[in-house]
A and B are shown apart, each in its own frame.
Chain A
């Protein structure tokens, strides 16, 4: 018991929490933007896989790490465009289309990886992002080691939370996006085009999701391998509900989630006799429990999963 408490007070645990949370923050923000505009994007798992592959490949082919992130965003947006085309103008089932996008994006990522990369006994590696201590701030005791000695994509994720929250709450663009998710007919009445807003929201959201995948291959690890996203996308979909579709709470949810994950990873080394699978199960079980806890009082965007057809109720 004391050992467990000791773990909780180390800076390295809390630094790991932020690291583990980073792909979730990107994923949950991306999913949130899509859903606030009224489109469920179950393509997330595949889009993250695609982002992971494209980000890694760009660097492997000699590109800059930042170029890797940019290419990942573009690849994610391309997949998002496809999902948007199928679900918004065509009004197809968002569930099935999303699953199809996940199957397509991950299959395509694996196919192209195998096609373009010679894999020996071990997958080839790149030189990933290194921690980037922020001058001055990183000298703050404890907090400096936890928050201000991370890799650059983690800072990007944290800044993005604030940016998305501000955009949604304070800008006309954000208002239009939220309105599209609540009542697209009212948006039309304002002279705006809800179809175009939804398409852009899904594309931007998907681009952000892809960053979550790219973080895995360019900062957390240094190689790409099949199955590496490991259900993080699905966990993000659960986290959006848990966060009641709010960016601030999404950050909180991702951190809480990462805390459990980092804690169980360290607990595994201390507690003996418990099969490791039980620890690995924790994040998935936790997601389901989180869903049950909030589902009753969650305020879902009114028009989520409602296809919009002009002049039809």
Chain B
């Protein structure tokens, strides 16, 4: 058996790949659910109901999807340039910290759109700087950014702990380790009344469209693609690889930081060490399921949010451990890798 590269990747194959991957993940995980003594049909039905069965469920699913869109996009833009940013989790928290620190009182009196712009910029800057460090370490010293971004996640989480128990501690929180809240006037408005769904998801989709435009229509977008496909050939053709990768790092880190800032300004209102249920890591799965395409990121985020929100409800109803959501994610990621292989290669006997 040998592999042969296809001449071109067809669009239907690219759309079919994630669907097949997700299906494979659901089928494989049905076995694990059956081990819990629960019918997989019932469990998956409960999951769907938990994610879309009521008005509250739907708003919760989309509330969960909005940070995932941005962390997924962050991973997608970086992976496209073969910059392995696994530090989305840390960048998310840095953005959240920046928004809480400035949004508590420093920007409280500012006119609204301006204050939001400043807070978003602060969140993006915080995330961008955090990824700039590993990017420079790779470009300057040849240090693998996978390991450094992963290690930075642990460091940042400890910094968050340090902040919410120290300088940013909320004295009104009865000793709970949480940061000072964002000024009430700076919170993002709700999109659906009496729910946690806020305009953050609209912002996230606008950012997706902007990034898509930049990738498809600008020189920077073309350079990113070239740097990812074949850095040596790209450098030979005059693409400034180092500058391109630095810009990609700033964009990627900035997007994950923005996710954190929006999460603080929107549904949460303050920072804790547990505010992210792994948005950064799930972003990697989102990016891969989206085949690194910005538009695909939106669909993949909704899917991942569905699984997580649905699994919680399903777990309460049937007793199947909610960790099944993480297993489904992981299997879908691996299945997607294999499915993508067959979109670019064909098997010859």
Given contacts A235-B151, A288-B151, contact A90 B326 (CB under 8 A): no
Q: Quick check: A114 and B323 within 8 Å, CB to CB?
A: yes
Q: How far is the CA of A104 from the CA of B29 in the complex (A)?
A: 11
Q: How far is the CA of A231 from the CA of B146 in the complex (A)?
A: 13
Q: How far is the CA of A235 from the CA of B147 in the complex (A)?
A: 8
Q: Quick check: A275 and B166 within 8 Å, CB to CB?
A: yes
A91 — which chain B residues lie within 8 A by C-beta? 3, 341
B331 — which chain A residues lie within 8 A by C-beta? 104
Nearest chain B residue, comparing its CB with the CB of A291: B143
Partner of A234, one of B142, B150, B321: B150
A238 — which chain B residues lie within 8 A by C-beta? 147, 151
Given contacts A110-B321, A292-B141, A292-B143, contact A90 B150 (CB under 8 A): no
Given contacts A103-B329, A110-B326, A111-B321, contact A237 B147 (CB under 8 A): yes
Residue B330 lies at the interface, judged by CB distance under 8 Å to chain A: yes
Residue B259 lies at the interface, judged by CB distance under 8 Å to chain A: no
Residue B334 lies at the interface, judged by CB distance under 8 Å to chain A: yes
B32 — which chain A residues lie within 8 A by C-beta? 108, 111
Q: Quick check: A103 and B142 within 8 Å, CB to CB?
A: no
Residue B333 lies at the interface, judged by CB distance under 8 Å to chain A: yes
Q: How far is the CA of A278 from the CA of B161 in the complex (A)?
A: 10
A151 — which chain B residues lie within 8 A by C-beta? none
Partner of A292, one of B137, B281, B330: B137
B41 — which chain A residues lie within 8 A by C-beta? none
Q: How far is the CA of A288 from the CA of B143 in the complex (A)?
A: 9
Q: Quick check: A295 and B142 within 8 Å, CB to CB?
A: yes
Instruction: With both chains docked as a complex, state the minimum distance between the C-beta of B7 and any C-beta of chain A, in angstroms.
Output: 17
Q: Quick check: A90 and B341 within 8 Å, CB to CB?
A: yes
Q: Within residues 297 to 349 of chain B, which ones have a CB less than 8 A from any CB in chain A?
A: 320-321, 323-324, 326-327, 329-331, 333-334, 337-338, 341
Stretch at the interface among A68-76, A93-101, A136-144, A182-190: A93-101
Nearest chain B residue, comparing its CB with the CB of A236: B147
A231 — which chain B residues lie within 8 A by C-beta? 150-151, 154
Q: Quick check: B327 and A104 within 8 Å, CB to CB?
A: yes
Given contacts A231-B154, A281-B155, A288-B148, contact A107 B161 (CB under 8 A): no
Q: Quick check: B86 and A99 within 8 Å, CB to CB?
A: yes
Q: Quick check: B337 and A86 within 8 Å, CB to CB?
A: yes
A278 — which chain B residues lie within 8 A by C-beta? 158, 162
Instruction: With both chains docked as a complex, state the minimum distance between the C-beta of A108 and any C-beta of chain B, in angstroms.
Output: 6
A280 — which chain B residues lie within 8 A by C-beta? 158
Residue B190 lies at the interface, judged by CB distance under 8 Å to chain A: no
Q: How far is the CA of A96 from the CA of B36 in the complex (A)?
A: 30
B281 — which chain A residues lie within 8 A by C-beta? 103
Q: How far is the CA of A86 from the CA of B337 in the complex (A)?
A: 9
Instruction: With both chains docked as a complex, state the minimum distance between the C-beta of B131 and any C-beta of chain A, in angstroms.
Output: 14
A170 — which chain B residues lie within 8 A by C-beta? none
Q: Quick check: A95 and B337 within 8 Å, CB to CB?
A: no
B166 — which chain A residues lie within 8 A by C-beta? 275
Interface string of B112-155 (1 = CB under 8 A from A): 00000000000000000000000001000111101110111011
A106 — which chain B residues lie within 8 A by C-beta? 326
Residue A241 lies at the interface, judged by CB distance under 8 Å to chain B: yes
Nearest chain A residue, comparing its CB with the CB of B84: A95
Q: How far is the CA of A120 from the CA of B225 in the complex (A)?
A: 52
Residue B2 lies at the interface, judged by CB distance under 8 Å to chain A: yes
B151 — which chain A residues lie within 8 A by C-beta? 231, 234-235, 238, 284, 287-288
Nearest chain B residue, comparing its CB with the CB of A286: B151
Nearest chain A residue, comparing its CB with the CB of B284: A99
Residue A266 lies at the interface, judged by CB distance under 8 Å to chain B: no
Residue B285 lies at the interface, judged by CB distance under 8 Å to chain A: yes
B86 — which chain A residues lie within 8 A by C-beta? 99
Q: Quick check: A107 and B137 within 8 Å, CB to CB?
A: no
Instruction: With both chains docked as a complex, state the minimum distance between the C-beta of A174 and any C-beta of chain B, in angstroms.
Output: 25
B35 — which chain A residues lie within 8 A by C-beta? 115
Q: How far is the CA of A237 from the CA of B86 in the complex (A)?
A: 14
Q: Quick check: B158 and A277 within 8 Å, CB to CB?
A: yes
Partner of B334, one of A104, A288, A291: A104
Residue B288 lies at the interface, judged by CB distance under 8 Å to chain A: yes
Residue A92 lies at the interface, judged by CB distance under 8 Å to chain B: yes
Q: Quick check: B330 and A103 within 8 Å, CB to CB?
A: yes
Q: Within residues 201 to 243 of chain A, which ones have a CB less than 8 A from any CB in chain B?
A: 230-231, 234-235, 237-238, 241
Q: Quick check: A103 and B333 within 8 Å, CB to CB?
A: yes
Q: How far is the CA of A296 from the CA of B36 in the complex (A)?
A: 51
Q: How far is the CA of A280 from the CA of B154 in the complex (A)?
A: 9
Residue B159 lies at the interface, judged by CB distance under 8 Å to chain A: yes
Instruction: With both chains docked as a complex, state the minimum distance between the C-beta of B17 and any C-beta of chain A, in angstroms.
Output: 13
B36 — which chain A residues lie within 8 A by C-beta? 115
Q: Quick check: B330 and A97 within 8 Å, CB to CB?
A: no
Residue B170 lies at the interface, judged by CB distance under 8 Å to chain A: no
The 3 closest A-B pairs by CB, nearest first: A107-B326, A104-B330, A114-B321
Jot down 9 A-B pairs with beta carbons below 8 A, ordered by A.
A104-B334, A111-B326, A237-B146, A284-B151, A284-B155, A287-B147, A291-B137, A292-B143, A298-B142
Chain B interface (Cβ within 8 Å of chain A)?
2-3, 32, 35-36, 84, 86, 137, 141-144, 146-148, 150-152, 154-155, 158-159, 161-162, 165-166, 281, 284-285, 288, 320-321, 323-324, 326-327, 329-331, 333-334, 337-338, 341
